[in-house]
A = this chain, B = another copy of it.
Amino acid sequence: MITNIHIQAEDFDVSDEIAALTEETPQTGAVATFVGLVRGGDDLTALTLEHYPGMTEQQIARIAEDAARRWALTGITVIHRVGRLTPGERIVFVAVAAMHRAEAFEACEFLMDYLKTKAPFWKQEERGGAVQWVEAKLSDDAAAERWRRR
C-alpha cells in the first residue's frame, strides 16, 4: 500500500498523481479519484484555507490507514491545498487505487467525507470586499457519520 499525503499551496496535476500512484502497483485495476474545485457564482471572489500544520497531516494519515484496513487497496493519494484560491481552482484531490472498482469508489468517498468533516482545515470566503469564515455544515457531518454504522 502506497500512501501520499500533501498539504500544499501549489496546484497539482491529476494525471501525474494517478501515474505516480499506479506505476509501482501492477496489480491495480481501478483508480477512483475526486477533485474538488472552488465553485463560482454567488459573487464569490476567493477562498482562503488554513490548516493546523502537523495535526492535519497526522489525521489524514490515520484516516488513510483506516481506509486501508476496511478495503483491499493498493494506494492512496490525498492532496489538500491551503492559502488563497479563486473560482475554478482545484482545492482537494483524493485518488484511491485498488484491484477492483467497488473498493476504490467506497474508499474514495469515505476519505472525502472525512476530509470535509474531521480534518483540521478552515475556510474563509471573500465576496466583493467582505471576508467571512465558513460555518460547518450539518450535511457534511451526516455524510461522515454514515461510515460509523458499517
Contacts and interface: CB of A to CB of B under 8 A. Distances in A.
A51 to B, nearest CB: 20
Interface in A12-69: 13-16, 18, 22-23, 26-41
Contacts of A88: 22-23, 26
Nearest to A19: B14
A5 interface: no
A67 to B, nearest CB: 15
A18 B14 CA distance: 9
Interface residues of A, number: 34
Interface string A81-123: 0000001100000000001011011001100100000000000
A63 to B, nearest CB: 16
Contacts of A18: 14, 35
Contacts of A109: 101, 105
Contacts of A23: 88
Contacts of A38: 29
Contacts of A31: 34-37
9 contacts: A14-B33, A18-B35, A22-B37, A23-B88, A26-B40, A28-B37, A28-B39, A30-B34, A31-B37
10 closest cross-chain pairs (CB), A and B: A26-B40, A29-B39, A15-B15, A31-B35, A14-B15, A33-B33, A105-B109, A14-B14, A13-B15, A32-B34
